Amino acid sequence: MRVGPDFHPQHESWAEHWSSASIEQVTQQSTQPDIRQWWQIFGDRNLESLIAQADANNGDVKVAGLRVLEARAQLGVALAGRYPQVQQGNADVLYSARKRSDGFNPRSGGYWQYGAGLSIGWELDFWGRFSRAIESADAAFFAAQANRDVALVLLHAQVAQTYFTLRTAEARLRIARENAQLQKRSYEIAQKLFKSGETDELDLQQAKTQYLGTLSSVPDLESQIVLASHALAVLMGRPPGPLPELEVQSGKEGVVPLVDHAVLQDVPANLLLRRPDVRAAEYQMAAQSALIGVAKADLYPSVSLLGSLVWSASSLTGSPNTLALVAGPSITWNVFDHGRITNNVRVQDARLQQLTVTYQNIVREAAREADDDATALIAALQRDAILNDAQGAAGRSLKLANAIYREGYSDFQRVLDAQRALFAQQDAYIVNRSNAVGDLIALYKALGGGWHLDEPLVDPATRRQMQQRTDWGDLLDEPGTSSATASPSGDAPR
Highest average pLDDT, of 22-36, 156-170, 459-473, comes from 156-170
Task: Determine which of 29-38, 51-60, 393-402, 427-436 has the lowest per-residue pLDDT on average.
Answer: 29-38
Q: Check: CB of residue 5 under 8 Å from CB of residue 289.
A: yes
CA-wise closest residue to 289 among 350, 245, 333: 350
How far apart CA 6 and CA 201 sit, in angstroms, is 85
CA-wise closest residue to 447 among 245, 272, 285, 301: 272
- Amino acid occupying residue 242: P
Crossing angle of the two packed helices 412-446 and 338-406, in degrees rounded to 10:
150
Q: What is the mean pLDDT of residues 44-51?
A: 92
Highest average pLDDT, of 323-332, 335-344, 386-395, 471-480, comes from 386-395
pLDDT at 329: 80
pLDDT at 253: 65
| Residue 58 neighbours by CB under 8 Å, 6+ apart | 155, 235, 236, 237
How far apart CA 11 and CA 391 sit, in angstroms, is 49
Task: Determine which of 99-113, 124-138, 312-326 has the lowest per-residue pLDDT on average.
Answer: 99-113
Q: What is the mean pLDDT of residues 322-332?
A: 80
pTM for this structure? 0.85
Mean per-residue pLDDT over the chain, rounded: 86
Total H helices, total E strands in the chain: 12, 8
Residue 303 pLDDT class (50, 70, 90 cuts) = confident
How far apart CA 255 and CA 253 sit, in angstroms, is 6
Segment (H or E) for 103: strand 103-104
Does the pLDDT value for residue 388 go beyond 90?
Answer: yes
Does the pLDDT value for residue 250 go beyond 60?
Answer: no
16 or 343: which leads in pLDDT? 343
How far apart CA 355 and CA 370 sit, in angstroms, is 22
Give the C-alpha distances (Å, rounded to integers) separating 15 from 224, 283, 366.
40, 17, 10
Q: Check: CB of residue 68 under 8 Å from CB of residue 462.
A: no
How far apart CA 446 and CA 67 sit, in angstroms, is 24
Question: In 3-state terms, what secondary structure has residue 237?
Answer: coil
The third-level CATH classification (topology) of the domain covering 13-84+127-300+339-469 is: Outer membrane efflux proteins (OEP) (1.20.1600)
Residue 24 Ramachandran class (φ > 0 left, ψ -120 to 50 alpha, else beta): alpha
pLDDT at 101: 53
Residue 494 pLDDT class (50, 70, 90 cuts) = very low
Residue 492 pLDDT class (50, 70, 90 cuts) = very low
The length of the chain in residues reads 494
How far apart CA 207 and CA 476 sit, in angstroms, is 67
pLDDT at 104: 47
Domain spans in the chain, listed from the N-terminal domain onward: 13-84+127-300+339-469
- Amino acid occupying residue 444: Y
Residue 245: HSE in the Cβ half-sphere, 13 Å Cα cutoff: 12
